[in-house]
Chain A
Amino acid sequence: MSFYVKLEDVHLRFKDMKSTDLSLRRLAVGQLMTWFGKNKAEPAEDKMPEVLRGINLELRDGVKLGLIGGNGTGKSTLLRVIAGIYRPTAGRVEVQGRVTTLLNSGFVLDPQLTGIENIRLGCALLKIPNNQVTSKIEEIVEFSELENSIHQHLEHFSDGMRSRLGFAIATSVQPEILLIDEAIGTGDKFFIEKATARITQLIENSSILVMASHNESIMRRICNKVALIRDGKVADLGDVDEMLGNYTEAA
């Protein structure tokens, strides 16, 4: 089976939600005013700019795409659109394959529960079949190096321990399509190396990768294509060295 990601002229515009739009009372009063002709003001135009303005991308098996571009150009939004978290306002997204996301805030853990309970919940969220859960748990505990504290509540975990656990859970399933946003987690130096090794392994075994990052050395090592995102469009797409060279020069 071949996996692919296809985006055809994808646009996305967030709605401008002012605090007044969030109030049912204000909405009702405004509506009444309009009915009785007291409210002459035309409804304000949607002034929010489009975040994505016509993205066309086709990624086939084996493509490891790096996304570069300044802050707020739509890289993270694009990842969320591919993951199906945000719906496009125009265009079409087609994805074949199991998508795993490692987005900014990563996996969400519940601080009131113990480490092991969080792992079990994570397994349920990732829809790991019941007969594999036990072996997955062992694997996650071992990888996150939390054997001694896994039955404690997360409240007693340090930030580093939490992010190790979150990372281990999120990367416990081999994805077919992997979406990564920015650098991966915190932890001591040793764990970062270990995490990078695991990510590299996941990437090697996954058929498609889309990664947004500002870290050029990681990109050179992992990606085989780079797209420059500017103003919500794919401004340029090409080989890694060429693209990164141009980008650095322009900057």
Chain B
Amino acid sequence: MSSEVQIYTPEKSLKLRGMLSVLKEFFGDLADAYFTSGYSVLSAYYEIKSRYETSVLGPLWMVLSNIIFISVISLIYSSAFGIQLSDYVPFLTAGYLLWMLMVNIIQDGSVTFIWYGHLLKNNKISPLVIYSRLFSRAVIIFAHNIPVIFLIVLYYKGFVFNIPELLFGLTLFVTCTFFMGLAISIMACRFRDIAFVLPSIFQVLILMMPILWKPEMITGRKTILLEVNVIYQLLEIVRAPILGGFVPLHYYINCLALLVVSFLLSAYLYVGSKNKLVLWS
């Protein structure tokens, strides 16, 4: 069996490396994490499976708790805001569950390298393999929620889905979140206080986002708050097609810009620190 010569030398500063070499290494590790080893998807699958085995409903408990949250909030807020239930329930369901996907990826991601540091110390394994395990798990859990969203929208609004836009938006949403989560997970391994602060940040963010309240409630000059909120726009490019709504073109452009920024940020953070994570974790 032949294998390449491995050469380990002190790391060059990223400033001395061309962008191409950084991106090449990043793509190589990405492909390795998802296609070559199969470890990440397999381990995420087993973890979910073991949850089904250890409790009666498994991850469906989470679906159930989401449904309870949505029902209670819908009853109270729809009357508080004076919105019809048939309008508010699908809006809240889609928005809240998508938001939870983003929160899960980023929050679980932030402790990835702290939890699985022992894997890095005893095996030559790419940190991306470990991150993609947590990412795959969050996506599989979200998949449980998809029927809930589908059925609720179908019941209240009928078949209003705009499938092509939905697929495009969801892909953009998930890839963007993947890279944002990766960047945060690396920073959170270096700076341990990040993982503690994140839950509080998300608590504030969910109130700032049009998830419980509708974006139309903001009028006049204050709409600038929505125009600069790229995270909201990322959510909206998935939610609007689900609810049969319309996505302004500049939302897509902003989200693509966010994708490029988060991709480059995570590529540089990853390539610059993939050999240091074992020392930090």
A interface residues with partner B (beta carbon < 8 Å): 1, 14-15, 17, 22-25, 27, 80-81, 83-99, 101, 103-108, 110, 112-114, 117, 120-121, 124-125, 127, 153, 176
Contacts and interface: CB of A to CB of B under 8 A. Distances in A.
Given A88-B8, A101-B122, A121 B46 contact: yes
Interface stretch (B138-146, B160-168, B213-221, B273-281): B273-281
The 7 A-B pairs at the shortest CB distance, nearest first, are namely A24-B191, A124-B39, A93-B8, A22-B192, A95-B6, A87-B275, A117-B46
Nearest to A87: B275
A1 to B, nearest CB: 6
A85 B121 contact: yes
B187 to A, nearest CB: 8
Contact of B37 (A90, A108, A127): A127
Given A85-B278, A105-B121, 11 more contacts: A22-B190, A22-B193, A24-B194, A88-B9, A91-B10, A93-B8, A94-B7, A95-B6, A95-B7, A124-B38, A127-B36
Contact of A90 (B10, B42, B118): B10
B221 to A, nearest CB: 32
B122 A120 contact: no
Given A87-B10, A89-B10, A94-B5, A101 B193 contact: no
Given A22-B192, A112-B50, A124-B42, A15 B279 contact: yes
Nearest to B194: A24
Given A23-B192, A24-B193, A108-B118, A121 B6 contact: no
B191 A106 contact: no
Contacts of A110: 43, 46-47
Most chain B CB atoms below 10 A, which of A87, A103, A114:
A87
Given A86-B278, A97-B3, A106 B8 contact: no
A176 B37 CA distance: 20
B124 interface: yes
Contacts of A27: 191
A125 B123 contact: yes
Contacts of B37: 124-125, 127
Given A124-B37, A127-B36, A106 B10 contact: no
A99 B191 contact: no
Interface residues of B, number: 39
B36 to A, nearest CB: 7
B124 A121 contact: no
Contact of A120 (B1, B42, B50, B190): B42
Contacts of A89: 10
With most chain B CB atoms within 10 A of its CB, the pick from A85, A101, A127 is: A85
B264 interface: no
Contact of B9 (A93, A98, A103, A107): A93
B191 A14 contact: no
Nearest to A92: B9
Interface in B165-217: 187, 190-194
Contact of A108 (B36, B123, B124, B279): B123
A99 B124 contact: yes
Contacts of B1: 98, 176
B52 to A, nearest CB: 12
B39 A125 contact: yes
A49 B275 CA distance: 20
A23 B191 contact: yes
Contact of A83 (B47, B118, B124, B187): B124
20 contacts: A22-B192, A23-B191, A23-B193, A80-B121, A83-B124, A85-B123, A87-B10, A92-B8, A94-B7, A95-B7, A99-B6, A108-B119, A113-B50, A120-B46, A121-B42, A124-B38, A124-B39, A124-B43, A127-B36, A176-B3
Contacts of A120: 42, 46
Contacts of B193: 22-25
Contacts of A104: 122
Contact of B43 (A94, A95, A121): A121
B31 interface: no
A117 B53 CA distance: 13
Nearest to B51: A112
Given A92-B9, A104-B122, A14 B50 contact: no
Interface in B1-38: 1-3, 5-11, 36-38
A194 B99 CA distance: 53
B230 interface: no
